[in-house]
Structure 1
Amino acid sequence: MKIYTLNKEQFLPISLDKAWHFFSSAGNLSKITPPEMQFKVLTKFEQDDIFEGMHIDYIVRPLFNIPLRWKTEILKVDKPNSFIDKQLNGPYKLWEHTHIFIEKENGVLMKDQLKYSLPFGIIGRLGHAILVREKIEKIFEFRKLALNKIFK
């Protein structure tokens, strides 16, 4: 299995508590996901705080407007410093996203560490080279611009 990584950093002029509250709420994901992906959270939450073992169900349209169900599990929570989510069901063979928040003077340094792999062996690797890598980069670029607008 070929594992790809993506590492991004972004400074946000907000408090650590505000960063945690925003990013740990699945309801905010649609605000930072490109609209053409029609991202929708299906899970109804009884509480705001995420917790280890929490499952979240989504529908997303990552390619060609085809709806895909996606289920993630929160693997680890270190409030307010980090959390890790992992795809249980979805389009990837592996998707593990670590969110890190580091308090700095005048704001928070947010780090995203993504590990992912595609199914279908060599076809998946070819798809990554032709389409998927660029799509993921564009998603994170959209996210960066959206966050800059939200937290200006």
Structure 2
Amino acid sequence: MRHRYTWSTESWVPWPPALVFAFFANPQNLPLLSPPRQKMRIEEVKIVAPPPAPATADAMRGFHNVAAGVGSAITLSFRPSRISLKRTTWEARIAEFVWNQHLCDEQVRGPFAFWQHFHRVKEHAHQGAWGTLIIDQIAYELPLGPIGSLAHALFVRRRIEQMFAYRQKRLAEILARTGKVFQKAGAQRFSGLKDRST
């Protein structure tokens, strides 16, 4: 019998939810969040369009991009470790998608017996500035019964924690560059505490 594990983490960025969500909704951005040693690449993407994005007034909130809606399939390959010569294939599908709130990807084929990852975003104030709280929630199972449980205790959980720590750092760097492009275009950055009464 397999054991189902859960894990979650949160991070904050000083950019609005629409910009952050748009980044996650585009599967082409996945390799940007992967450690270089993994040499992640996208092998195939089948996009199912999501519902139309909600109309927004400000240019940054109206950030348009490729978005993978429910039913989209993404096939990736990567090296699971530095010494691995063989690439691992991971096929995922988008199971849930709600604009500027959350999306969920589930493994169809890959190294886990089960994998489900919710990406949630919500507007949130942090130290007097408005931005986005990013919540990653995963549920997963390992194959191979007791051997999988031992692998989880020895290194799998630690690898997951390291992977998400890297993702959070890279995402902050990428969004900082992207946000500056919008600032130059006249978009408003969430800086300072906004008047929430308007």
Q: What TM-score results when the alignment is normalised by the length of structure 2?
A: 0.73
Give distance in 2, aligned partners of 1:84 and 1:93: 17
- Of residues 154, 161, 170 in structure 2, which corresponds to 1:137? 161
Query: Greater Rg, structure 1 or structure 2?
Result: 2
Give distance in 2, aligned partners of 1:42 and 1:136: 22
- Residue identity (%): 30
Give deviations 1:78-130, integer Å, cap 9, x for gaps: 11100100000000001100010101242110100000111000000001111
Match in the other structure for 1:51: 69
Deviating runs (4+, > 3 A) in structure 1? 44-47
Bigger CA drift: 41-50 or 120-129? 41-50
Give distance in 2, aligned partners of 1:126 and 1:45: 36
Q: Is the 8 A contact 2:92 2:107 kept in 1?
A: yes
Aligned-residue CA RMSD in angstroms? Answer: 1.4
- The alignment of Structure 1 onto Structure 2 pairs a total of residues equal to 152
Q: Is the 8 A contact 2:46 2:73 kept in 1?
A: no
What is the Cα deviation at residue 146 of structure 1?
1.0
User: 5+ residue gaps in structure 2?
Assistant: 50-65, 177-198
Corresponding letter in the other structure for 1:77: F
Give distance in 2, aligned partners of 1:150 and 1:121: 39
Give deviations 1:23-80, integer Å, cap 9, x for gaps: 1111111111111111111124667121111111110112342311110010011111
Structure in which a larger fraction of residues adopt strand: 1
Residue 108 of structure 1 pairs with residue 132 of structure 2: yes
User: 5+ residue gaps in structure 1?
Assistant: none
Q: What TM-score results when the alignment is normalised by the length of structure 1?
A: 0.94
Match in the other structure for 1:94: 114
Give distance in 1, aligned partners of 2:31 and 2:123: 25
